[in-house]
Structure 1
Amino acid sequence: MLDFFLAPLSYEFIRNALVVGVFAGVLCPVVGTYLIVQRMALLGDVIAHAVMPGLAIANFLNINLAIGAFISGMLSTFVIQWIRQQSRVKVDAAMALIFSSFFGLGVMLLTTLRTQLDLEDLLFGNILSVTVGDGWRTGAIALVILVLVKLFYKELLFFTFDPLGAQAMGLPVQVINLGLMSGITITLIAGMQAVGVILVIALMIGPAIAAYLLVKELHQMMIVGGILGAIASVSGLYTSYYYDLPSGPAIAIAVFVIFLLTLLFSPTQGILTNHPFKRGIESHTKSG
């Protein structure tokens, strides 16, 4: 059994992938928790796809890809907000429009600008190619964002559950919202290298909603979600190693398996553990 866990660690690329995967697995669900409780999970998917034009332009201009991705991702959130403020269009419709428009623009720019970016790697990730430097960078991003979440937890909590109340209390809600959107965008960019544009949203949302079925408090969701995200990353990488599967999709499937197990067996909200027939038996037993 010990050889099962130690054998892959003899390869440096596996060790690097595990480091990046764990950092992304912890960070993504912590930030994704805010999207879940705000019922804005689709926004993460929108931003994940909206970074594509920025990546293409940054590569064409020979500047840091993260800069282009961040600008493009943030621009998508501003456009969604602008559409909501200037029209009767609902937020879900605005997000769906921006999702398809930015992603289509990104694919078009990747083709017309003749960039050297591999579309398949952008979409599905290539975690096995990460370096030690990538691990340090992902770890630094995770540390900074987690520290900021800790420092401004009360303000973010108030804003998340009652934005109007937060504004009435004098909190700078626009600044808080900008900071939250920035954190989400940076987290998505950091996670993209692990599982790609399409699958990073699974790592951000899946462990968070699994944690939502297990605990009730926001800070508990973050802790449990981070643990589940790390487990999904590690188990996905080991599965991809032993069964010769693509790493990104393997991590996404591991996320879904964890969610499915939680959905079925959660002590308080599981389908099987809280079946109506079982609850009826327990109620009858107590009354008897």
Structure 2
Amino acid sequence: MVEDEHHPVLPCMDWLLEPLSHAFMVRALLVSALVGGVCGLLSCYMTLKGWALMGDAVSHAVLPGVVVAYALGLPFSLGAFVFGVGSVAAIGFVKQKSRVKEDTVIGLVFTGFFALGLVLVSKTRSNIDLTHILFGNVLGITAGDIQQTLLISALVLLLLLLFRRDLMLFCFDPTHARSIGINTGVLHYMLLGLLSLAAVVGLQTVGIILVVAMLVTPGATAYLLTDRFDRMTVLAVISSVLSSVFGVFVSYWTDSSTAGCIVLVQTAQFLLAFLFAPRHGVLRRSQGQLTGDL
């Protein structure tokens, strides 16, 4: 970059503009922002419903689906979605047919599916890079992957917007939702299906292992900052998009894992909210207690 002797380019502008001169970085930023927005919105429902462990289960369970899809010459997203939904069905079946508690069933199912995926990867002769599946490869995303991400993201956003009020009531008070005639069973499985789709779009950005952070952290951060659901969704989306974009920039300049940087930025945002949130932050509550004691 050429600098005018009388108007030097600020270091911060150089930090911002240089990555944008690379086409792969522009693609990575756009895709990361889109996936961040989708996962941020969905994370609000995951937080209210207490489905953090369910998100972990679905994200890990898609691994064998990716391998099977590759072996059959099918899109990765199709195999991942089928196995994601299959893991949810397996969890529901075992929970209904046994006395084992749900959290134990979730742990059993997602570790079993994940182990199956590892075995399939080791036995399938292919050029599948396990590292890219586990930790994402947004810097190397292809045009086909971008189209797939756009389509799935649009579908998830559309369904979340169309059923927004019903899903919100289902997450807050499922008993009341049933009493006024809402089919909570359909909403339950639709939300799990959307969770599976979100895990699929997160594969390219942060991979199987870290996608659960994108599905939980933004909603948890926003939950500390407001008591209104509308504001919570806006804050979660903004938080997730900003952390995705900033994480990509940080990974470029530090030559670090893109997925790791994105999740670390999200974690830093949560810690700031945890400490300094206006009403629910630890420091704010401590000050309130001190004031009350005085």
Bin the TM-score by the shorter chain.
over 0.9
Question: Is it true that 1:191 corresponds to 2:202 in the alignment?
Answer: yes
Residue of structure 2 aligned with 1:282, choices 277, 281, 291: 291
Q: Could you say what secondary structure the match of 2:284 adopts? A: coil
Residue of structure 1 aligned with 2:186, choices 171, 175, 197: 175
Residue of structure 2 aligned with 1:34, choices 45, 52, 55: 45
Question: Is it true that 1:118 corresponds to 2:129 in the alignment?
Answer: yes
Structure 2 equivalent of residue 137 of structure 1 = 148
Structure 1 equivalent of residue 4 of structure 2 = none
Contact persistence 1:16–1:132 (CA under 8 A): no
Q: Could you say what secondary structure the match of 2:225 adopts? A: coil
Deviation string 1:85-124 (CA, Å, 9 cap, x unpaired) is: 1122111011010111000011111112223311111111
Structure 1 equivalent of residue 3 of structure 2 = none
TM-score (norm 1): 0.93
Q: CA deviation at 1:134?
A: 3.3
Q: RMSD of the alignment, in Å?
A: 1.6
Q: CA deviation at 1:245?
A: 0.7
Contact persistence 2:46–2:219 (CA under 8 A): no
Structure 1 equivalent of residue 255 of structure 2 = 244
CA separation in 1, counterparts of 2:169 and 2:258? Answer: 38
Residue of structure 1 aligned with 2:78, choices 48, 67, 80: 67
CA separation in 2, counterparts of 1:236 and 1:139? Answer: 20
Q: CA deviation at 1:281?
A: 4.5
CA separation in 2, counterparts of 1:37 and 1:260? Answer: 19
Unpaired runs of at least 5, structure 2 = 1-11
TM-score (norm 2): 0.91
Contact persistence 1:20–1:134 (CA under 8 A): no
Question: Is it true that 1:266 corresponds to 2:274 in the alignment?
Answer: no
Question: Is it true that 1:161 corresponds to 2:172 in the alignment?
Answer: yes
| Percent of aligned pairs with the same amino acid | 35
CA separation in 2, counterparts of 1:173 and 1:115? Answer: 42
Q: CA deviation at 1:132?
A: 4.3
CA separation in 1, counterparts of 2:30 and 2:85? Answer: 27
How many residue pairs were aligned?
Answer: 283
Contact persistence 2:46–2:215 (CA under 8 A): no
CA separation in 2, counterparts of 1:268 and 1:139? Answer: 37
Q: How does 1:80-91 map to 2 (within 5 A)?
A: 80-91=91-102
Contact persistence 1:214–1:267 (CA under 8 A): yes
Structure 1 equivalent of residue 32 of structure 2 = 21
Unpaired runs of at least 5, structure 1 = none
Q: CA deviation at 1:144?
A: 2.7
Deviation string 1:126-173 (CA, Å, 9 cap, x unpaired) is: 110013443343233323322221211111122222223323332222
Q: CA deviation at 1:224?
A: 0.7
